[in-house]
């Protein structure tokens, strides 16, 4: 069964203090690894898709990387508006539904 | 592109009552998904439509749950005889055929009292 584990569960940073969130996965036939951001009371908002080990994507202060077993979301010099829950999800090759399997998320708080 | 729209945003119901939620996907997206999310957890897959055909249902979807997508446009999710354990955020998402990337709505928050 596919498993997606995110750590830490919660992270508090001072504004400007860079850090990384981890997503480790076990899945056969990875079709893609996805990062989403979720604000309280809202649906997840797409950030990145990574397809193969070694791939990197960047958007503003966020950079996502992928290895064969895990992905990292690096946050450089975060601002309070980066506070949110960050979700990672995997899609696999087999299966008709092509649904995503999500981790439990990392709740990030950036203090001014 | 107006995004995925869900109604209502919030629903409070008494245990044993039936509730129905509606999802309007992005117009050109023919795949539609329902997920459930409880506090502190990631979204869990419930069911999936390709056009009007419901192609897969999760074990989480008990007999009290039914979903429809008439004419392959909007979808409804009905929960019969609600239980307190049904309290959660119900998320709808859509995607075109060629991509597994999901676009989510803002969800319907269900509270069963």
Is the per-residue pLDDT at B100 higher than 80? no
pLDDT for residue A99: 75
Is the per-residue pLDDT at A1 higher than 70? no
pLDDT for residue B25: 96
How does DSSP classify residue A49?
E
Alpha carbon of A33: minimum distance to chain B alpha carbons (Å) = 10
**Strand ordering across the sheet containing A56-59:** A3-7, A19-26, A70-75, A62-66, A56-59
pLDDT for residue B71: 86
pLDDT for residue A91: 86
A5–chain B Cβ distance below 8 A for any pair: no
More confident residue, B100 or B10: B10
A90–chain B Cβ distance below 8 A for any pair: no
Q: Of the candidates B113, B92, B112, B96, which has an alpha carbon nearest to the alpha carbon of residue B104?
A: B92
Looking at A23-37, A59-73, A75-89, B7-21, which range is the least confident one? A23-37
pLDDT for residue B79: 97
pLDDT for residue B61: 85
Q: What pLDDT, in 10s, does the model give residues A20-60?
A: 999 999 987 788 999 999 999 999 999 999 999 999 999 99
Is the per-residue pLDDT at A94 higher than 70? no
A1–chain B Cβ distance below 8 A for any pair: no
A92–chain B Cβ distance below 8 A for any pair: no
Q: Which two tokens stand for residue A14?
A: 């001072």
Chain B residues near any Cβ of chain A (below 8 Å)? 4, 6, 31, 33, 40-45, 48, 55-56, 91, 93, 100-107, 109
Q: What pLDDT, in 10s, does the model give residues B40-71?
A: 999 999 999 999 999 888 888 889 999 999 98
Strands (E), A1-112: 3-7, 10-14, 19-26, 30-38, 45-50, 56-59, 62-66, 70-75, 84-92, 101-102, 106-111
């Amino acid at each position: 069964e596919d498993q997606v584990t995110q750590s830490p569960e919660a992270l508090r940073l001072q504004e400007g203090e860079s850090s990384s969130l981890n997503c480790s996965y076990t899945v056969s036939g990875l079709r893609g690894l996805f990062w989403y951001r979720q604000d309280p009371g809202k649906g997840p908002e797409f950030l990145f898709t990574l397809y193969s080990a070694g791939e990197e994507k960047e958007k503003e202060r966020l950079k996502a990387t992928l290895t064969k077993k895990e992905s990292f979301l690096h946050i450089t010099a975060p601002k309070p508006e980066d506070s949110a829950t960050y979700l990672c999800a995997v899609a696999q090759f087999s299966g008709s539904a092509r649904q995503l399997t999500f981790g439990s998320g990392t709740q990030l708080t950036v203090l001014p | 592109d107006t995004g995925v729209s869900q109604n209502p945003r919030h629903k409070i119901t008494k245990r044993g009552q039936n509730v129905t939620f509606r999802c309007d996907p992005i117009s050109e997206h023919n795949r539609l998904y329902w997920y459930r999310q409880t506090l502190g957890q990631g979204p869990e897959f419930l069911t999936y439509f390709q056009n009007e055909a419901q192609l897969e249902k999760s074990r989480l979807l008990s007999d009290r749950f039914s979903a429809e997508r008439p004419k392959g446009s909007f979808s409804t999710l009905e929960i019969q005889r609600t239980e307190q354990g049904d309290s959660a955020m119900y998320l709808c998402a859509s995607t075109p055929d060629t991509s597994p990337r999901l676009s989510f709505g803002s969800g319907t928050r269900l509270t069963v009292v």
